[in-house]
């Protein structure tokens, strides 16, 4: 099976490397800045059009809906070069409406699609323990579950095309609201004269404990804002969540509140920092620095 991989950023590059480590035949796009690094790791390289022509399955890991549409359906896009019976797996986090639109266009050409966004950020992309949320036909999912498993520890089919990205939006709502609550709680402790590190140690094993807390509390406490997942990307995901929620009539007031904090940080020049930097909003309001 020949695999084409387009999108070698913070997430895509380590994911492609894990496919190579698992012994897969991977071809990366010459348009990617990291192409040389992946070729040195064992990948082949080709133009996007050539990837469409020669690969059995094309994987993308791109920023948002417009980029995925342009790569796949734009003028001389990859989709125009894919053979009937080949498969497109989009691992980007995009609006589920866009996933359905792309799938419908590719179906006209005999190309199947899975939308398979991930959760876990850069650390889990590197160690191959991402969580995949997948939408698409059961038989297509069954064929490629093992492939996705080379990059993740959890691969779950959530329904038809679009269900993967709907699930990802739910995931991003929960993550954002957890980070905001954590920032509020640790700031409260600091203002009340209690060591936030001890608060973290005391509550991490109880009901409040979570994967989010384990990943983000140490970053807040040390002042580390190196991005595992950037604020600007989370803003993109919550914009998609708000759009989807409004279209289906789902109330999301907590999501809207978290988005306002993220937008404030973006306006202040923090958009390229990790989303744990939400704590800076509370530091600005209170003057309490957790990392002092």
The secondary structure of 96-115 as a DSSP string is HHHHHHHHHHHHTTT-EEEE
What is the chain's alpha carbon radius of gyration, rounded to the nearest angstrom?
A: 20
226: annotated active-site residue: no
What CA–CA distance (Å, rounded) separates 136 from 157?
8
DSSP code for 41: T
What CA–CA distance (Å, rounded) separates 28 from 43?
7
What CA–CA distance (Å, rounded) separates 188 from 179?
14
Q: Are 164 and 133 in contact (CB under 8 A)?
A: yes
Give the CA distances from residue 149 to residues 15, 118, 143, 177, in Å, rounded to whole numbers and listed in that order.
11, 12, 11, 28
Identify the H or E element spanning 34. Answer: none
Task: Let me know if 76 is exposed, middle or buried by CB neighbors in 10 A (0-12, 13-18, 19+).
Answer: exposed
- Helix, strand, coil shares of the chain, percent, nearest 5, are 55, 15, 30
Give the CA distances from residue 21 to residues 32, 41, 153, 289, in Å, rounded to whole numbers and listed in that order.
20, 9, 15, 42
Catalytic residue of the set 168, 190, 216, 230: 168
List beta partners, residue 63. Answer: none
Catalytic positions: 168
């Amino acid at each position: 099976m020949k695999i084409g991989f387009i999108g070698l950023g913070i997430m895509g590059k380590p994911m492609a490397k894990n496919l190579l480590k698992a012994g897969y035949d991977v071809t990366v796009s010459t348009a990617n800045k990291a192409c040389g690094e992946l070729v040195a790791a064992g990948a082949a390289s080709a133009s996007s059009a050539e990837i469409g022509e020669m690969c059995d399955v094309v994987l993308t890991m791109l920023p948002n809906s417009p980029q995925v549409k342009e790569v796949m359906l734009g003028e001389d896009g990859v989709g125009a070069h894919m053979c009937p019976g080949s498969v497109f797996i989009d691992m980007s986090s995009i609006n589920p409406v866009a996933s359905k639109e792309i799938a419908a266009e590719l179906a006209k050409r005999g190309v199947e699609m899975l939308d398979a966004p991930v959760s876990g950020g850069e650390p889990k992309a590197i160690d191959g323990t991402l969580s995949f949320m997948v939408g698409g036909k059961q038989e297509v999912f069954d064929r490629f579950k093992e492939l996705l498993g080379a990059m993740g520890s959890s691969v779950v089919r959530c329904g038809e095309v679009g269900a993967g990205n709907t699930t990802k939006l739910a995931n991003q709502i929960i993550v954002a609201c957890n980070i905001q609550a954590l920032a509020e709680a640790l700031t409260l402790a600091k203002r009340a004269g209690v060591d936030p590190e001890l608060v973290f140690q005391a509550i991490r094993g109880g009901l409040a404990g979570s994967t989010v807390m384990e990943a983000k509390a140490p970053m807040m406490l040390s002042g580390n804002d190196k991005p595992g997942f950037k604020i600007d990307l989370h803003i993109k995901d919550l914009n998609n969540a708000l759009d989807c929620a409004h279209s289906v009539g789902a109330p999301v007031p907590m999501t809207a509140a978290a988005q306002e904090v993220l937008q404030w940080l973006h306006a202040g020049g923090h958009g390229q920092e990790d989303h744990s930097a939400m704590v800076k909003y509370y530091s600005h309001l209170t003057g309490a620095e957790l990392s002092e």
